């Protein structure tokens, strides 16, 4: 299985012993999206990517960030097949606490920002004392 692994920074090594090991290739969200929009897919098979800054982009997008979330979703979904061939999970790292119930979101003060428009259905996982979420590259 491959897809997006959505995780809080506090659940990753070295912050958490035995936590999720960070992938070596770190991209800011906007750089990652720019790479995905290239005509020729830029990442080789086995490339292990970590994406940071999604929450900053959504926070800056206003309330609600529908257009920005839609653009992010469409860009990532358009490259689902190529990402699947790359293999593994792209890590999406959040500084904020992630919440999962009837929705999937993070909070900025009293404002709730939903991640469902980007990731669609997610799976909630606990492994080795770390909590994280999984979404397919198809973002269904």
Q: What is the pLDDT of residues 78-105, one digit of tens each?
A: 999 999 999 999 999 999 999 999 999 9
Q: Look at the pTM and tell me if it is higher than 0.75.
A: yes
pLDDT(1) > 70: no
Decide if 117 contacts 4 (C-beta within 8 A): no
Decide if 6 contacts 125 (C-beta within 8 A): no
d(CA 72, CA 93): 15
Q: What is the pLDDT of residue 128?
A: 80
**Residue 91 C-beta-side C-alpha neighbours within 13 Å:** 23
Q: What is the pLDDT of residues 31-60, one digit of tens each?
A: 999 999 999 999 999 999 999 999 999 999
């Amino acid at each position: 299985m491959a897809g997006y692994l959505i995780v809080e920074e506090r659940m990753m090594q070295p912050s958490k012993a035995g936590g999720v090991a960070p992938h070596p290739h770190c991209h800011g969200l906007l750089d990652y999206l720019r790479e995905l929009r290239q005509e020729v897919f830029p990442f080789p098979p086995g490339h292990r990517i970590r994406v940071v800054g999604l929450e900053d982009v959504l926070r800056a997008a206003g309330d609600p960030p529908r257009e920005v979330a839609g653009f992010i979703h469409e860009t990532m979904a358009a490259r689902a097949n190529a990402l699947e061939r790359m293999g593994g999970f792209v890590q999406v790292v959040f500084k904020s606490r992630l919440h999962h119930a009837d929705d999937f979101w993070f909070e900025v003060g009293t404002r709730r920002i939903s991640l469902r428009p980007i990731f669609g259905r997610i799976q909630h996982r606990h492994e080795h004392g770390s909590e994280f979420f999984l979404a397919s590259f198809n973002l269904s």
